């Protein structure tokens, strides 16, 4: 997965597809790598529940794409964790808003693969 925040920067990272997450969320390290100023006056902020605690976030509009298929690219509103000390097992969570509202994901555990397709291609 690649994130970019023109004209700031571009960064590749791993993210977890989470059907239970209402938002797409990335950690503070992702924001820092993109040159996004956390705490910027006028930025949209909020609170989310993540890993049993309330986390403070800053929302930003960023460009995203899947590294294995760069044609699967989109712009999304993403929540960035404000706390620089907080770390997840993955740098990002691809949730309903910002990912699953655009793509259909097919999981096949038996054969250990998954497929991502634009949602409008599914019937």
In tens digits, what is the pLDDT along the chain, a chain of 123 residues?
Answer: 777 766 667 888 889 999 999 999 999 999 999 999 998 888 999 999 998 899 999 999 999 999 888 888 999 999 999 998 888 778 899 999 999 999 999 888 888 888 888 887 655
Phi then psi for 29, rounded to 5 degrees? -60, -35
Q: Pseudo-torsion of CA 115, 121, 122, 123, nearest 10°? A: -160
Nearest to 70, CA basis, from 29, 9, 6, 10: 10
Q: Which two tokens stand for residue 18?
A: 């989470």
Tokens 């294995």, located at residue = 68
CA atoms within 13 A on the CB side of 17: 14
Q: What is the Cα–Cα distance from 1 to 92, expressed in whole angstroms? A: 9
């Amino acid at each position: 997965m690649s994130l970019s925040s023109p004209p700031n920067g571009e960064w590749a990272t791993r993210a977890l597809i989470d059907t239970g997450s209402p938002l797409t969320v990335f950690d503070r390290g992702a924001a820092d790598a993109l040159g996004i100023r956390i705490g910027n006056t006028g930025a949209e902020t909020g609170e989310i529940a993540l890993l049993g605690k309330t986390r403070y976030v800053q929302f930003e509009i960023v460009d995203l794409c899947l590294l294995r298929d760069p044609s699967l690219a989109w712009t999304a509103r993403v929540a960035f964790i404000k706390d620089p000390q907080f770390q997840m097992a993955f740098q990002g969570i691809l949730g309903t808003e910002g990912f699953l509202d655009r793509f259909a994901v097919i999981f096949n555990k038996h054969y250990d693969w998954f497929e991502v397709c634009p949602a409008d291609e599914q019937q």
